[in-house]
A and B are shown apart, each in its own frame.
Chain A
Amino acid sequence: MANDKKSIFSPVTAFKNLVKKPETVRYPAESNDAAKRYRGFHINDLEDCIGCSTCQEVCVNDAISMVEMLDVPAEEGQRSERPQIDYGRCCWCGLCVDVCTTGSLEMSRDYSYIEIDPDSFIVTPAEKDINQVDHPLGYLRDEHSDLLDLKRIDMEMLEPEERINSFIEIVEGFSKEQAEKEASRCVECEICTDTCPASMNIPQYIRGIFDDDLEESLEQIYEDNPLPEICGRVCTHTCEGVCAISHRGEAVSIRWLKRYAVDNVDSADYKKVLGTEKIEQNNKKVAVVGAGPAGLSAAHYLSVMGYQITVYDSKEKAGGMMRYGIPEYRLPYDALDKDINYIKSLGVDFVFNTRIGENITLDELHEQYDAVFAATGLHNGRSTRVPGTDNNNVYQAVNLLADIARGKEVPVTRNLVVIGGGNVAMDIARSMARIQMDKYGEVNITVTSLETEDIMPADQEEIEEAREEGIVFKPGRGPKEIEVNEDGTLAQLCTNCCVSVFDEEMNFSPTFDDSDIENYECDMVIEAIGQGGDNSYIDDQFEIEYAGPRIKINDYSQTSVDWLFAGGDIALGPDVITAIKTGHDAAVGIDMYLNDEL
């Protein structure tokens, strides 16, 4: 204390401030602009915003509510709600901006709002903030503050050189670590559920994987889908197309996660986990025609409700197009059988090698059963019917794929052409590529389609993988004629340039340029341009209404004949998940019908 300097004159230095400009009070008032990163009032691009409500999820103070917007349609990939912020609760932390899946939510540099009415502090941020005046942007999320996990876990797949040598499954599946990390990326917005044709509880089964509770995942999956081993491999996954994370990053791998969950639950545990160890029977009988996805789905849900089910199929085994159309390298038979065997274990009877309309009529089924569900699918391949298609060396993809599935030897030549641009064309081309490689040691396959590559209906991944396996693509070509040699063998496929596939009303009406000719040498042609069904077993006996080429059904898959329900590709789709939904709807509908509620 003795050496602390002190003087009564020292504080006099403060007087110098009398002649300085005051540092706070300013007159006239000057506005104080906020810093570049200031976390001010919110603005939201209402068109980019998808209403995923992740901002609401992360808000610390429950300041955000999702409100219905009358002028925003709920379409695929977005909801019609938008965030509304209560500035009485908001603390301007900006976590909502850091987590926004589309990047539509931002903050301005505006910080001043003065109003008597407290209700006016609750606003739905739009292009302008609460003051309705343009302000420069303030806090913006950048790559450091981003709270979302934007990158997918890579799925291990076999290399092309290895794939081409067998029909082994290409996709290897997630490990536990990979699955948990991929599952953690989900923000549980449920926009995927909105899009899924079967409205599967997607965020819930993904959460089961994250929590290492695969039994929970299984339960959630089976609420809407009894064929998850299959869908976890071959579903068209429109859910991933609308995944909220896909806007700024890569979609969550929903399909591979579903596969991981069901691959890792033992089939011996299914009945216990799903609560189907004991089912009370109600002594009513339902016939299902077709053991494809729609039929199997209906059989499953009806069995669980206590009905006695008999499934008829014209083929030797259950599965429909899933077994007889999808190659083993995409959908191995043991995965297929795991799903089918569980349904069988519920007490479903299967009658194979029986065609309705031949071995037994639909009318007889109507007499023997309380209701019938028809899901016979589209198994007849269509033909281009150009000159030469009647030759023995011209085949239908669906017939060859079915024979390959049966394990039968199929004809394969050194030089193949496949006509078609959809997934069936990819399936047959890649299957035949493997058989060619095995027989001749090299792949020589050309796939030609009307569509140019940008509008080919096949999955992009299929096209890329096919290319990696040595298949050559000639898109945008229309088949004109198959030239046949004198001895009946094929010489080449002659094509013209296909100028356009659809007309202005998007009707299928291809136009060609006859002067542009390309010929592809080949000794075998396979057509994969579409399929039709054979509903004669219905139409021969009953008058039912059609909607275009497909059978008309209501929301319960009921046809215009009240005891006859229909589903699968003959009514909707064509794809597996839609077929599963029609089967489920039919089960609910049949149950209501048999209780006089429909």
Chain B
Amino acid sequence: MDKSTQTEIFFGPNHPGVPGNYGINYNFEGDTVTAAEANAGHLHRGFEKLMEERIWIKNTALVPRICVEEPDINEMVYAMGFEAIGEIEVPRRADYIRSIILELARIQGHIFSIGGNAAGIGQYTIMNWGTLTRDYILDIFEEITGARVYHIYIRPGGVRQDIEAETFAKILDLMNELENERFPDLEKTLFENPNAQKRWQGKAVITKEEAIEMGATGPVLRANGVPHDLRKMMPYAAYDDVEFEVPTGDNGDAWDRIKIARDDMLQSIKIIRQLINKIPDGPVQTDLGNGLKYRIPKGDAYVKIESKRGEYGYYMVSDGSLKPYRVHVRGASTPLGLYGVREYLPGTRIADVPVWAKSLGICPPEFDR
């Protein structure tokens, strides 16, 4: 590498152009990136080891923090892993409630990251709208679970408490507001903005082969026309009871991925309406006995769900004791954030590095853990 023409800079970890506490160290020549390396680990909090030192129920308060933008997926797969190894059945109403929570989490995560993407190209109005709209969904979470961001609501065996009828009414009202007011405004202000289209179209392309080789799913793979969605392929919770479409794109670029995020939100609104309409009565929790003495047989399980960024899974190992033996987190954006950067970022122009980092849904807390 010719040092006289190359410059190395630290892009992040403290930078509005990166999606979180994560850095990209890259060399550039002119204004094109020539080599890049991930500068990750700033969000390493030792979760996987911490979980080994705590009894099963205590970890429910720990896991939401593994993914800051969509915490509920962690609660869900932790509970699913426990239930898989312990062969525990969850009441049907709990399945429905879990799906509602996950879909609300999907909407708030998408609108927040659409805002983040917009900030990456300087459209700060959309960033504020994203944060604002998310706040109304957090109000719903506060009413259901008692907390806005880290809900600690989905537990092994079911969910922590039931949802009242008036809360369902509030959710439906919010869905109407989103569909009739806020998302159309978003459509006009962002998606029909020629500026945004120019900045995103044809940029940060990840092809189908590259995505499959890396193990990237979610919008990254779907933007190449592959309707890969675990909610349809291996339905969990109540997804086998609802009808929805899986949005795809054709070009594998940032524009397709961000449109898929928008379309996912519209599908989630449909799913939530169906779930609330059809939710059965019944208990919301299977009795598992004394919470301080939860114990499942020796065994292991890999459980996964469709997060907004793709396949998100936990590999859990139990040795039959009161604590998990091992919990490994498979973050959806792990391949992109750690390896994709090295392989596919070179060749991008500097101004498009934020577009690359944000539109691929790189989520540092889930691979730093």
Q: How far is the CB of B87 from chain A (nearest CB, A)?
A: 16
Q: How far is the CB of B66 from chain A (nearest CB, A)?
A: 14
Provide the bound-state CA to CA distance between A162 and B190, in Å.
Answer: 82
Q: Does residue B152 face the partner (Cβ distance < 8 Å to A)?
A: yes
Q: Does residue A324 face the partner (Cβ distance < 8 Å to B)?
A: no
What chain B residues lie within 8 Å of A4 (beta carbons)?
191-192, 197, 255
* Residue from B62, B160, B197 within 8 A of A6 (CB atoms): B197
Question: Contacts A11-B189, A24-B132, A145-B161 hold; do A184 and B143 have CB atoms under 8 A apart?
Answer: no
* Residue from B162, B189, B290 within 8 A of A10 (CB atoms): B189
Of the stretches A33-41, A429-437, A570-578, the one at the interface is A33-41
What chain A residues lie within 8 Å of B145 (beta carbons)?
37
30 contacts between A and B (CB under 8 A): A1-B197, A1-B251, A4-B197, A7-B192, A10-B193, A13-B188, A34-B142, A35-B143, A38-B147, A58-B57, A60-B54, A60-B58, A60-B59, A60-B62, A92-B147, A93-B152, A95-B58, A95-B60, A98-B160, A98-B291, A142-B161, A144-B162, A149-B290, A181-B289, A184-B289, A184-B290, A184-B293, A184-B295, A185-B293, A187-B292
Q: Is the CB of B188 within 8 A of A144?
A: no
What chain A residues lie within 8 Å of B152 (beta carbons)?
93-95
Q: Does residue B146 face the partner (Cβ distance < 8 Å to A)?
A: yes
Provide the bound-state CA to CA distance between A6 and B132, in Å.
Answer: 25
Q: Does residue A525 face the partner (Cβ distance < 8 Å to B)?
A: no
Q: Does residue A139 face the partner (Cβ distance < 8 Å to B)?
A: yes
Q: Does residue B28 face the partner (Cβ distance < 8 Å to A)?
A: no
Q: Does residue A458 face the partner (Cβ distance < 8 Å to B)?
A: no
What chain B residues lie within 8 Å of A7 (beta carbons)?
192, 194
Q: Does residue A23 face the partner (Cβ distance < 8 Å to B)?
A: yes
Q: Does residue A234 face the partner (Cβ distance < 8 Å to B)?
A: no
Q: Is the CB of B185 within 8 A of A99?
A: no
Q: Is the CB of B147 within 8 A of A6?
A: no
Provide the bound-state CA to CA distance between A39 and B189, in Å.
Answer: 37
Interface residues of B in 114-147 (CB under 8 A from A): 125, 132, 135, 139, 142-147
Q: Does residue B351 face the partner (Cβ distance < 8 Å to A)?
A: no
**Taking CB as reference atom, which chain A residue is nearest B160?**
A145
Interface residues of A in 168-184 (CB under 8 A from B): 181, 184
Q: How far is the CB of A364 from chain B (nearest CB, A)?
A: 56
* Residue from A6, A23, A38, A91 within 8 A of B192 (CB atoms): A6
**Taking CB as reference atom, which chain B residue is nearest A14?**
B189
Q: Is the CB of A99 within 8 A of B289?
A: no
**Taking CB as reference atom, which chain A residue is nearest B133?**
A23
What chain A residues lie within 8 Å of B144 (beta carbons)?
37
Q: Is the CB of A187 within 8 A of B290?
A: yes
Q: Does residue B32 face the partner (Cβ distance < 8 Å to A)?
A: no
* Residue from B135, B158, B162, B188 within 8 A of A11 (CB atoms): B188
Interface string of B173-195 (1 = CB under 8 A from A): 00000000000010011111110
Q: Is the CB of B161 within 8 A of A37?
A: yes
Q: How far is the CB of B293 from chain A (nearest CB, A)?
A: 4
Provide the bound-state CA to CA distance between A23 and B189, in Å.
Answer: 18
Question: Contacts A24-B132, A187-B290 hold; do A37 and B194 have CB atoms under 8 A apart?
Answer: no
Beyond A93-B150, A99-B291, A210-B293, 10 additional pairs, beta carbon < 8 A? A24-B135, A37-B144, A95-B58, A98-B291, A107-B146, A139-B146, A142-B161, A144-B159, A148-B291, A185-B293
Q: Is the CB of B284 within 8 A of A144?
A: yes
Q: Does residue A54 face the partner (Cβ distance < 8 Å to B)?
A: yes
Q: Does residue B9 face the partner (Cβ distance < 8 Å to A)?
A: no
**Taking CB as reference atom, which chain A residue is nearest B54?**
A60
What chain B residues lie within 8 Å of A138 (beta carbons)?
146
Q: How far is the CB of A165 from chain B (nearest CB, A)?
A: 38
Q: How far is the CB of B150 from chain A (nearest CB, A)?
A: 7
Q: Does residue A5 face the partner (Cβ distance < 8 Å to B)?
A: yes
Q: Does residue B246 face the partner (Cβ distance < 8 Å to A)?
A: no
What chain A residues lie within 8 Å of B54 (beta carbons)?
60
Q: Is the CB of B292 within 8 A of A144?
A: no
What chain B residues lie within 8 Å of A405 (beta carbons)?
none
Q: Does residue B6 face the partner (Cβ distance < 8 Å to A)?
A: no
Q: Is the CB of B161 within 8 A of A10?
A: no
Q: Is the CB of A144 within 8 A of B255?
A: no
Provide the bound-state CA to CA distance between A181 and B289, in Å.
Answer: 8
Q: Is the CB of A185 within 8 A of B197?
A: no
Q: Is the CB of B192 within 8 A of A94?
A: no
Interface residues of A in 13-36 (CB under 8 A from B): 13-14, 23-24, 34-36
Provide the bound-state CA to CA distance between A38 and B290, in Å.
Answer: 24
Q: Does residue A147 face the partner (Cβ distance < 8 Å to B)?
A: yes
Q: Does residue B285 face the partner (Cβ distance < 8 Å to A)?
A: yes
Interface size class of A (residues with CB under 8 A): 35 or more
Q: Does residue B207 face the partner (Cβ distance < 8 Å to A)?
A: no
Q: Does residue B201 face the partner (Cβ distance < 8 Å to A)?
A: yes
Question: Contacts A60-B58, A144-B161, A187-B290 hold; do A94 and B193 have CB atoms under 8 A apart?
Answer: no
**Taking CB as reference atom, which chain B residue is nearest A57?**
B292
Q: Does residue A8 face the partner (Cβ distance < 8 Å to B)?
A: yes
Q: Does residue B169 face the partner (Cβ distance < 8 Å to A)?
A: no
Q: Does residue B61 face the partner (Cβ distance < 8 Å to A)?
A: yes
What chain A residues lie within 8 Å of B125 (beta carbons)?
14
What chain B residues lie within 8 Å of A185 (beta carbons)?
289-290, 293
Q: Is the CB of A148 within 8 A of B290?
A: yes
Q: How far is the CB of A387 from chain B (nearest CB, A)?
A: 59
Question: Contacts A35-B142, A93-B152, A149-B290 hold; do A60 and B192 have CB atoms under 8 A apart?
Answer: no
What chain A residues lie within 8 Å of B162 (beta carbons)?
144
Q: Is the CB of A35 within 8 A of B290?
A: no
Provide the bound-state CA to CA distance between A1 and B196, in Å.
Answer: 12
What chain B residues lie within 8 Å of A39 (beta carbons)?
146-147
Best-surrounded residue of B144, B159, B292 (most CB of chain A within 10 A): B292
What chain B residues lie within 8 Å of A23 (beta carbons)?
132
Provide the bound-state CA to CA distance between A24 and B145, in Å.
Answer: 23
Interface string of A32-69 (1 = CB under 8 A from B): 00111111000000000000001001101000000000
What chain B residues lie within 8 Å of A36 (beta carbons)?
143
Q: Is the CB of B293 within 8 A of A95?
A: no
Q: Is the CB of A1 within 8 A of B201?
A: yes
Q: How far is the CB of A498 from chain B (nearest CB, A)?
A: 45
What chain B residues lie within 8 Å of A57 (beta carbons)?
292
Q: Is the CB of B143 within 8 A of A147?
A: no
What chain A residues lie within 8 Å of B191 (beta carbons)?
4-5
Q: How far is the CB of A221 from chain B (nearest CB, A)?
A: 20
* Residue from B57, B132, B135, B194 within 8 A of A95 (CB atoms): B57
Q: How far is the CB of B286 from chain A (nearest CB, A)?
A: 10
Q: How far is the CB of A30 from chain B (nearest CB, A)?
A: 15
Q: Is the CB of B58 within 8 A of A10?
A: no
What chain A residues lie within 8 Å of B292 (beta carbons)?
54, 57-58, 99, 147, 187-188
Q: How far is the CB of B175 from chain A (nearest CB, A)?
A: 18
What chain B residues lie within 8 Å of A210 (beta carbons)?
293
What chain A residues lie within 8 Å of B185 (beta carbons)?
13-14
Interface residues of A in 184-241 (CB under 8 A from B): 184-188, 210
Provide the bound-state CA to CA distance between A149 and B289, in Å.
Answer: 5
Q: How far is the CB of A26 from chain B (nearest CB, A)?
A: 13
Q: Is the CB of A147 within 8 A of B57?
A: yes
Interface string of A76-100 (1 = CB under 8 A from B): 0000000000000001111100110
Q: How far is the CB of B158 from chain A (nearest CB, A)?
A: 8
What chain A residues lie within 8 Å of B189 (beta carbons)?
10-11, 13-14
Which 3 residue pairs across A and B have the least CB separation, nearest first? A147-B291, A93-B61, A10-B192
What chain A residues lie within 8 Å of B57 (beta carbons)?
58, 95, 147
Question: Contacts A10-B193, A99-B291, A210-B293 hold; do A38 and B142 have CB atoms under 8 A apart?
Answer: yes
Q: How far is the CB of A134 from chain B (nearest CB, A)?
A: 20
Provide the bound-state CA to CA distance between A457 and B188, in Å.
Answer: 82
* Residue from A11, A98, A148, A149 within 8 A of B193 (CB atoms): A11
What chain B residues lie within 8 Å of A148 (beta carbons)?
290-291
Provide the bound-state CA to CA distance between A210 and B289, in Å.
Answer: 13
Provide the bound-state CA to CA distance between A100 and B183, in Å.
Answer: 44
What chain A residues lie within 8 Å of B160 (beta carbons)?
98, 144-145
What chain B residues lie within 8 Å of A188 (beta carbons)?
292
Provide the bound-state CA to CA distance between A330 and B2, in Å.
Answer: 93
